[in-house]
A and B are shown apart, each in its own frame.
Chain A
């Protein structure tokens, strides 16, 4: 059970990181609200 939980969490981290990084190259997210982008993802 512990192993499955860990796998689910690792997959969740991969998915969320993927989603967050896909917005770096775009002007905004698909919707009409743009949250503040994390500093580590900002392109200077």
Chain B
């Protein structure tokens, strides 16, 4: 049990005792507390990286677009919450630095083409593999799986339309930030799509192992 899980259990136990709740309700509170602490920790690490390396806009957009899609499509997982937060910070941080470093090496139309092609590949991956459940949260219900796949596909379409709108506005306003945002959205979706396939699982397993994870396989397709 990780430290975050221990703290969550203590919080849930105190609340349940004071407000006279049963063990099921206490379990739900512990789960909620865990999610809250983990989210705050992950956001803080990502923001710190963004401020330190001056990529705050890029890292926020990449992590938000990947996280929105992740909620419905699932994907590869780390074996501990700390590893999760660190892997998130490293991956989103490196991707933000790459966007910042190499964005201006591209001609606008080349970049637009790359974004469109990447969305087509993402769409195929999401359509074929999502949702990907885990041992700790299996997705066995076929109706739920279909609903999650539909929402994931809608998310990709929504993010694609947003990117195209931003690129179109750039043609009139010439505001570089618009290309930056569109590229970051695309990069976030690409990373999330990668976590649905074995390559993403291998990358996360490797980083998890380096960070001292148990290398327990958490991915499960339920198919």
Q: Nearest CB to that of A33 among chain B residues? A: B84
Most buried by B among A17, A30, A38, A41: A30
* A30 B29 Cβ-Cβ under 8 A: no
Interface residues of chain B: helix, strand, loop or mixed (majority): helix
Count chain A CB atoms within 10 A of each CB in B35, B78, B83, B204 and give the residue with the most: B35
Closest beta carbon of chain B to A42's beta carbon, Å: 8
A17 to B24 alpha-carbon distance, docked (Å): 11
Q: Which residues of B contact A44 (CB under 8 A)?
A: 140-141
Mark interface residues in B31-45 (1 if CB within 8 Å of A CB, else 0). 111111011001000
Q: Assess whether B32 is in contact with A15, with CB atoms less than 8 Å apart.
A: yes
- Whether B184 sits at the interface, judged by CB under 8 Å, is no
- Residues A15 and B36 in contact in the complex (CB < 8 Å), given A28-B71, A41-B28: yes
Q: Which residues of B contact A (CB under 8 A)?
A: 5, 11-12, 15, 18-19, 21, 24-25, 27-36, 38-39, 42, 67, 70-81, 83-85, 87-88, 130-134, 136-137, 139-141, 144, 147-148, 152, 195, 204, 218
Chain A residues within 8 Å of B, Cβ to Cβ: 6, 9-10, 12-13, 15-21, 23, 25-41, 43-44
